[in-house]
Structure 1
């Protein structure tokens, strides 16, 4: 999904594309991986904290981003891409990597609109060394 299609999604849902929302969306599209509000605020320091959190809530509600499980006390998010996957988090340094999910491709008998959430933890090779 590109910037223009995200802007259209907001408009179709009845929301205005304010300057702060545009900057946050552009930041999310440029970022690769799991992120938090504090990371956005660090890079876009002139934005209001409340605007960032409200925009993240809106984008989550519109299924543009989704909340991820993490070891962090702060909520983390990820751009909602096409492939369903899980995350592996190092308990030593909190490095987070994506892990493919085979279950997402399969149908489970007797269930529809199936969702699941998994967080894998362990030690990365740097922390083991």
Structure 2
């Protein structure tokens, strides 16, 4: 049996705000939300089979480094879409800035950062 990724869990400043734009831009839905460790709160947002757990301890601070320079850092989250151009338009309309566009075998991609500085890759496969 081959394993598949079910979810990723990472810290954001406002799980509700992050889940909101993910629902609008990626078509995802809330799977669960509730209290979490250390007096925090989590929202699980995604599809019926895969999701991200958005956690906040309530008083998270911004990191003082770039994740690409720290072992164990989160470098980016990637999502696959059916229409890269339409998704990019929606992301720009939301106010995020896209960049680092590339065509590569077997698809196309771009990146953007959310309000917490988390990098997302959006890819469409041919």
Report the TM-score, using the length of structure 2 for normalisation: 0.27
Q: TM-score, normalised by structure 1?
A: 0.26
Q: Which has the higher helix share?
A: 1
Higher strand share: 2
Flag the structure with larger Rg: 1
